[in-house]
Amino acid sequence: MSISYVDPMWGTVDRVHFLRISKHFTCNCQRCSDPTELSTHVSSIRCQQAGCLVNSNKAKGLIAPEQTEEKEWKCNSCNEIYPPVYFMSIVEKAGRELEKLHQKYGNIEAEEEFLRKFGKILSPNHFYLLEVKLGLAQIYGRTQDEPLPILSPKKLCRKLQLCEELLSVFDVLLPGTLLLWNFIFIKKKHSIVHFRLQSFKSPHPLRKTGSYGCFFQDEESSGRDLLPETQGGAHCKQIK
Ligand SMILES: [Zn+2]
Ligand SMILES: [Zn+2]
């Protein structure tokens, strides 16, 4: 049995620092001792070597912060070594931009732009990106002009994708009993329900094809491009 004194969404550096100054101990749990944080890479950045940039994913082409500066901080694919100071400067820059973004809370376009921009230099599961994704997963379908029942299929797919991405990290880092996990799980279910409801309301109903077929027929830019590997993606990819 374990109790977390600190926000599990923070990266190791922040958690360890907080515990040292507030609780006066150094945590040696499995996650805190592992630079990859149980292979989630929530504190890692992306390698900028050309080959790695093309092929990097949630597990590869990433640099995890070592616990000391004496160790080499290197890419887990090409072994390129990165100076810790470079690593920190990237994370600090993202942190400053995120603070500016907080002043625009609810601005979907600004939040998506942050994900696009910093998705190129931070690990896909980096805690700064997770924070923005968590906000976005809630905002989609809750704006005045586009409440969930009339949310466009493309945005509905995006909401689902965000829920899937968050869940894949929470499954590892947060025990299933935590409120946050349940919250996202419920949100995801909620989205799926509305997804189905909408498909029945569409002019080409689901029951004709037994799948989500036709649902996006008239959408020039549908959500299927957005969702390569997630379960939500599978829903959208069934549409031919
Ligand atoms: Zn720990
Ligand atoms: Zn690399």
Q: Which ligand is nearest to the CA of 29?
A: 1
Report if pTM > 0.75: yes
26 CA → ligand 1 middle, Å: 8
174 CA → ligand 2 middle, Å: 29
Q: Which ligand is nearest to the CA of 55?
A: 2
Q: Which ligand is nearest to the CA of 27?
A: 1
Give percent of the chain above pLDDT 70.
75
Q: Which ligand is nearest to the CA of 8?
A: 1
pLDDT at residue 202 above 60? no
129 CA → ligand 2 middle, Å: 20
Give the model's confidence band at 226: pLDDT under 50 very low, under 70 low, under 90 confident, else very high.
very low
Q: Which ligand is nearest to the CA of 79?
A: 2
What would the 3-class secondary structure string for the chain be? CCCCCCCCCCCHHHHHHHHHHHCCCCCCCHHHHCCCCCCCCCCCEECCCHHHHHHCCCCCCEECCCCCCCCCCEECCCCCECCHHHHHHHHHHHHHHHHHHHCCCCCHHHHHHHHHHHCCCECCCCHHHHHHHHHHHHHCCECCCCEHHHCCHHHHHHHHHHHHHHHHHHHHHCCCCCHHHHHHHHHHHHHHHHHHHHHHHCCCCHHHCCCCCCCCCCCCCCHHHHCCCCHHHHHHHCCC
Give the model's confidence band at 209: pLDDT under 50 very low, under 70 low, under 90 confident, else very high.
very low
Q: State the average pLDDT over residues 106-131.
A: 95
184 CA → ligand 1 middle, Å: 23
